């Protein structure tokens, strides 16, 4: 069982390498030359705002557990999370957990509980966006399947919350580690920080939809509704981090989504490349700066005893 993930990673890497080497990318790179500097900077700005919304989400999620960090610290943490995830899957979250534990005494159970809350909220919001986009898009291949998937996520959490009020689930399922999961899923709308967390998760969804829409618009034509569906689809790929930077899962979901909303096939991979260049470019630029500051400060603390 322990060898399945490494073998899967090797197979995916070999498959992606073969695909990249065997394909002629001349057309895609020629298309990217048509994207002007102003458009590139505008896309970078939108993606930076997207990271900013994630930083606000992190800030309010930590406040629900009594830890109040400055926005700048949350922004740097979010950038570093994305930066480290680019090299090793989930390593950014691990680094964040270690940092919060050592710097602020934020224990692992609270960190995991917060993480589950964030994931649950994000899935919930993007599932709603997915259902709305499907209702407005009309008929697309596999529409009913996607509708069932999105509705399952939308209805699953409220059903759990109702059941948790009627039944003591942690007592019913006495597994110690499951207590953290139950705690993370117990979202309370009465909590002011939780409400703000929900609002910023909605804002994150809107900004990500705009990023997808403007990226597609540089190289093809698309509607905001179609972009909303693609955004919902690609967001789910971020939860399957088999390779660094969700390599493979994000790319497949983006191309698949573009195909479903009838974006011309000759634009699929140029849109994918543009999306990757913008997102990785922003993360590498800011991540390198924050990583340098982080390691310099850490080295100073070690030397000073």
Task: Tell me the mean pLDDT in the region 37-61.
Answer: 93
- The number of folded domains in the chain is 1
Compute the distance between CA of residue 19 and CA of residue 304 in angstroms, rounded to an integer.
50
* Cα 38 off chain centre by: 26
pLDDT at 170 over 60: no
Name the residue among 277, 273, 279, 276 with its Cα closest to residue 31: 273
CA-to-CA dists, residue 173 to 111, 117, 197, 288, angstroms: 22, 20, 28, 44
Measured from the Cβ of residue 93, the count of other Cβ atoms closer than 10 Å reads 16
Compute the distance between CA of residue 78 and CA of residue 283 in angstroms, rounded to an integer.
10
Residue 17 within any structural domain of the chain: no
Residue 113 within any structural domain of the chain: yes
**pLDDT bracket for residue 73 (50, 70, 90):** very high
Residue 25 within any structural domain of the chain: no
Residue 176 within any structural domain of the chain: yes
Q: Which residue has the higher pLDDT, 169 or 138?
A: 138
Query: What range does the domain containing 289 cover?
Result: 38-303
**pLDDT bracket for residue 250 (50, 70, 90):** confident
Residue 2 within any structural domain of the chain: no
Residue 9 within any structural domain of the chain: no
**pLDDT at position 304:** 46
Which span out of 118-122, 152-156, 228-232, 288-292 was modeled with the highest average pLDDT? 228-232
Task: Tell me the mean pLDDT in the region 251-266.
Answer: 88
Compute the distance between CA of residue 149 and CA of residue 39 in angstroms, rounded to an integer.
35
Residue 94 within any structural domain of the chain: yes
pLDDT at 160 over 80: no
Task: Tell me the mean pLDDT in the region 30-41.
Answer: 82
What is the token pair recorded at 98?
């270690």
* Residues ≥6 apart with Cβ < 8 Å to 77: 55, 58, 69, 96, 99
Query: pTM for the full model?
Result: 0.83
Residue 30 within any structural domain of the chain: no
Q: Flag the least confident range among 54-58, 183-187, 195-199, 269-273.
A: 183-187
pLDDT at 13 over 90: no
Mean pLDDT value across the chain:
80
**pLDDT at position 75:** 94
Which span out of 20-24, 122-126, 129-133 was modeled with the highest average pLDDT? 129-133
**pLDDT at position 235:** 87
Compute the distance between CA of residue 230 and CA of residue 226 in angstroms, rounded to an integer.
6
Decide: helix, strand or coil at residue 7: helix
């Amino acid at each position: 069982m322990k060898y399945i993930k490494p073998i899967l990673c090797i197979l995916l890497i070999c498959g992606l390498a073969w695909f990249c080497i065997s394909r002629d990318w001349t057309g895609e790179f020629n298309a990217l030359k048509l994207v002007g500097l102003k458009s590139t900077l505008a896309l970078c700005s939108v993606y930076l705002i997207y990271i900013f919304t994630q930083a606000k989400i992190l800030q309010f999620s930590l406040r629900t557990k009594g830890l109040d960090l400055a926005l700048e610290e949350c922004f740097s943490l979010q950038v570093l999370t994305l930066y480290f995830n680019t090299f090793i899957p989930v390593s950014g979250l691990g680094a964040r957990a270690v940092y919060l534990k050592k710097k602020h005494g934020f224990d692992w159970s609270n960190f995991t509980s917060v993480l589950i809350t964030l994931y649950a909220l994000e899935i919930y919001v993007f599932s709603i966006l997915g259902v709305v986009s499907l209702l407005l898009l009309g008929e697309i291949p596999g529409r009913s399947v996607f509708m069932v998937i999105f509705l399952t996520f939308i209805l699953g959490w409220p059903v759990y919350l109702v059941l948790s009020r009627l039944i003591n689930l942690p007592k019913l399922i006495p597994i110690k580690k499951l207590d953290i999961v139950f705690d993370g899923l117990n979202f309370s709308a009465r909590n002011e920080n939780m409400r703000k967390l929900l609002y910023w998760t909605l804002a994150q969804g809107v900004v990500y939809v705009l990023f997808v829409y403007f990226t597609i618009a540089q190289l093809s034509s698309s509607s905001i509704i179609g972009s909303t569906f693609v955004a919902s689809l690609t967001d789910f790929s971020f939860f399957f981090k088999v390779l660094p930077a969700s390599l493979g899962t994000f790319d497949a979901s983006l191309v698949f989504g573009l195909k479903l909303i009838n974006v011309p096939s000759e634009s699929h991979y140029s849109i994918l490349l543009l999306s990757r260049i913008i997102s990785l470019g922003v993360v590498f630029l800011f991540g390198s700066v924050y990583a340098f500051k982080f390691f310099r400060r850490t080295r100073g603390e070690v030397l000073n005893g």
